[in-house]
Structure 1
Amino acid sequence: MSGVLSSVDARTQLVGQNRLELLLFSLGGRQRFAINVFKVQEVMSLPPLTEIPDRHELVVGVTHLRGQTIPVIDLRRAIKMGTTVIDENSTIIVTEYNMTVQAFLVAGVERIVNMNWNEILPPPVGAGRAHYLTAISRMDDRIVEIIDVEKVLAEITPYNPEISDAWIDDDLVELIKGKQILIADDSQVALNQVTGVLVKLGIDVVATHNGLEAYQVLEAWKAEGKDIANDVLMLITDAEMPEMDGYMLTTEIRKDPELKGMFIVLHTSLSGSFNKAMVEKVGCDGFLSKFQPEKLTREVQRIIRKKLGIEEKEENSDAEL
């Protein structure tokens, strides 16, 4: 499975089809777990590890891979299941999230499966490890639990939600007071972080947990005659979500005569090179990596100005997507 994500072209074939590939693995015991293959760079047997002083308790050590020093995180311990027993089957899954590379120690990797997002469901409310899950599915009459890796990483490296007043355009905030932004994200951690930034801009946030929920909100607004074009500044959507992913959500919006002009920002922890290709393919107005409050603040304001036909301010003109 080495280099399963080496080709962007191969990955883009699933986009717009509401499909995904999951890497199935074990943390010890019979329970199956999974993460989206889009996040995976490589799978390999556990290499020699170097212990580092004052490391986080979930980091079992670091390894050196292709010129990079990569932390190795005990995923079983991270989701409160106890410490992983290391043996000849121990494996690491090397991943990229939010432009950082890290590896997760697992008991063993099973296989990659291709699924439809409508087969992926939100975890049941109040179910034990649901606190660390973004979704569940069923395969061969067994439950597959899809881990909220963003929550795991946020606990290891806490996110700083603070934004400087210097990043905020007070004139724009006054102009958009009371306007809404619709968000779709299956990670509560991500929803909380984005909401925290938008509220400081004086924006009313409507939060949903997947693309289907977001689309249903838009349909309900249409039915009640809401002036979506004027009242809703934009949609900020995650890429991978249960039931309907962000790419399919964007595709459906672009096909709807009443919604096709909506401004859409893809906000995801997937790699930048991949998502820039996806922005063009599905018709988003921008792409932003997750958990960067300054860039989120600047990009939201840039797109609002674009929507309202306001000239870009010089201090924000170099903001990156």
Structure 2
Amino acid sequence: MSYTEDMTSSDSLLDHVDARTNLAGTNKMEILLFSLGGEEKFGINVFKVKEVSQAGKITRTPNMPGGVDGIVSLRGHVMPVLNLAKFMGVKETAPHQTMMVAEYNTHILGFLVKDVDRIIRVDWDKVRPTEGMLSDKGALITAITNLDDGSLVSILDVEQILSDAFGEAIVGNVEKVEAGHELCVFFADDSMVARRKITEVLDKMGVKHIQANNGQEAWERLRGMADGAQSSGQDLRDQIQVILTDAEMPVMDGYVLTQNIKNDKRFEGIPVVMHSSLSSDANRAMGKRVGVDYYVPKFDSQVLSSTLRPLLT
């Protein structure tokens, strides 16, 4: 991890958007480091964060979910404010007032933290998933990585935190796909919440599915399927009609996965749909740069199903 940037002002998050767009296909990400008051360092993908500011006056409202301190108005946006220390079980010695303003699934919200440190650039293959590992923070941590000094950074699973705070998105009525043969979607996502909701949508559509937990696992399985189809003289498109991938995943991200797929002629004619909570124009541009055919923000079951339906023939 050779790149660091001091977090001296909120403007620094926006100064290098074009440079961060150039990360597409490099299997690198930028993480904003922050503290919740203890010794542990936490991180969140910079692309999720619009700015860092003081929280200002937080207004309590009735029936606020646990861990949500209230709402705040910032430059015309009224947003919920989540207290990350409460979610992570970290005791606050004083009320936290630093707020990371994040855009998630086209919604704006604030995360209260003790302080923000700096931005680091890391290789995704140095980021390790936490599934199957013991953690006192449970499913709220999606991955870990090491700093140059050997200390650990815990990367938040924002999808799980928002699910715990506000409940999972409801998958409503989804129309079945009518086809004269079996249809299959291959999807990759490191979030348990996302995999569960994607599975629910595909089941309601009546579509078979194969899943992987990160881009590396997905690529190994896809390449194995392509090898098998090639050796048997079959058309891979008869086995997989669509590949659906998350953007940020440990080991290999969705941009490199897409790049690998598009560089392998055996996958020609199989569309790649990127399904990501990173909903900014910059992320769409990153997807387009590596060959993503369609970009769908998480998580709207109707948008997802309507995007997939014409591709399933």
State TM-score, norm by structure 2.
0.89
Answering whether residue 114 of structure 2 is matched by residue 110 of structure 1, we say: no
- Give the aligned partner of residue 12 of structure 1: 21
Cα distance 1:9–1:68, how it changes in 2: closer, same or farther (>3 A)?
same
**C-alpha deviation, 1:24, in angstroms:** 0.7
CA contact (8 A) 1:159 1:291 kept: no
Aligned residue runs from structure 1 range 142-181, under 5 A: 142-164=151-173, 167-168=174-175, 170=176, 172-177=177-182, 179-181=183-185
**C-alpha deviation, 1:113, in angstroms:** 0.2
- Give the aligned partner of residue 313 of structure 1: none
Aligned residue runs from structure 1 range 113-132, under 5 A: 113-123=120-130, 125-128=132-135, 129-132=137-140
**SS of alignment partner, residue 193 of structure 2:** helix
Q: Which of 281, 300, 306 is the equivalent residue of 1:298?
A: 306
**SS of alignment partner, residue 159 of structure 2:** helix
**C-alpha deviation, 1:209, in angstroms:** 0.9
Cα distance 1:124–1:197, how it changes in 2: closer, same or farther (>3 A)?
closer
Q: Tell me the percent identity.
A: 36
Q: In structure 2, what is the Cα distance between the partners aligned to 1:44 and 1:275?
A: 23
**C-alpha deviation, 1:86, in angstroms:** 3.0
Q: Which of 76, 81, 92 is the equivalent residue of 2:85?
A: 76
- Give the aligned partner of residue 315 of structure 1: none
- Give the aligned partner of residue 197 of structure 2: 193
**C-alpha deviation, 1:109, in angstroms:** 1.1
Q: In structure 2, what is the Cα distance between the partners aligned to 1:28 and 1:47?
A: 19
Cα distance 1:30–1:15, how it changes in 2: closer, same or farther (>3 A)?
same
Where does structure 1 lack aligned partners over 5 or more consecutive residues?
A: 309-321
**SS of alignment partner, residue 10 of structure 2:** coil
Where does structure 2 lack aligned partners over 5 or more consecutive residues?
A: 1-8
Aligned residue runs from structure 1 range 207-226, under 5 A: 207-225=211-229
**C-alpha deviation, 1:246, in angstroms:** 0.5
* Amino acid in structure 2 at the alignment position of 1:71: P
CA contact (8 A) 2:61 2:70 kept: yes
**C-alpha deviation, 1:124, in angstroms:** 5.1
CA contact (8 A) 1:91 1:107 kept: yes
| Deviation readout 1:273-311 (Å, 9 max, x if unpaired) | 23332332111110111110111111110222xxx4xxx
Q: In structure 2, what is the Cα distance between the partners aligned to 1:75 and 1:124?
A: 21
**C-alpha deviation, 1:7, in angstroms:** 5.7
**Structure number with higher relative contact order (C-alpha < 8 Å, ≥ 6 residues apart):** 2
Q: In structure 2, what is the Cα distance between the partners aligned to 1:176 and 1:282?
A: 31
Q: In structure 2, what is the Cα distance between the partners aligned to 1:57 and 1:69?
A: 19
Q: In structure 2, what is the Cα distance between the partners aligned to 1:85 and 1:205?
A: 47
**C-alpha deviation, 1:96, in angstroms:** 0.5
Q: Which of 56, 70, 89 is the equivalent residue of 1:61?
A: 70
Q: In structure 2, what is the Cα distance between the partners aligned to 1:46 and 1:83?
A: 19
- Give the aligned partner of residue 289 of structure 2: 281
Cα distance 1:11–1:176, how it changes in 2: closer, same or farther (>3 A)?
farther
CA contact (8 A) 2:171 2:197 kept: no
Aligned residue runs from structure 1 range 230-249, under 5 A: 230-249=238-257
**C-alpha deviation, 1:176, in angstroms:** 4.5
- Give the aligned partner of residue 316 of structure 1: none
Q: In structure 2, what is the Cα distance between the partners aligned to 1:45 and 1:86?
A: 15
Answering whether residue 208 of structure 2 is matched by residue 204 of structure 1, we say: yes
* Amino acid in structure 2 at the alignment position of 1:231: Q
Aligned residue runs from structure 1 range 13-52, under 5 A: 13-52=22-61
Q: In structure 2, what is the Cα distance between the partners aligned to 1:86 and 1:10?
A: 37
CA contact (8 A) 2:38 2:90 kept: no
Q: In structure 2, what is the Cα distance between the partners aligned to 1:274 and 1:62?
A: 27
Q: In structure 2, what is the Cα distance between the partners aligned to 1:41 and 1:181?
A: 33
Q: In structure 1, what is the Cα distance between the partners aligned to 2:199 and 2:24?
A: 27
Cα distance 1:174–1:256, how it changes in 2: closer, same or farther (>3 A)?
closer
CA contact (8 A) 1:62 1:71 kept: yes
Cα distance 1:28–1:285, how it changes in 2: closer, same or farther (>3 A)?
same
**C-alpha deviation, 1:29, in angstroms:** 1.0
> Runs ≥4 in structure 1, deviation > 4 angstroms?
none
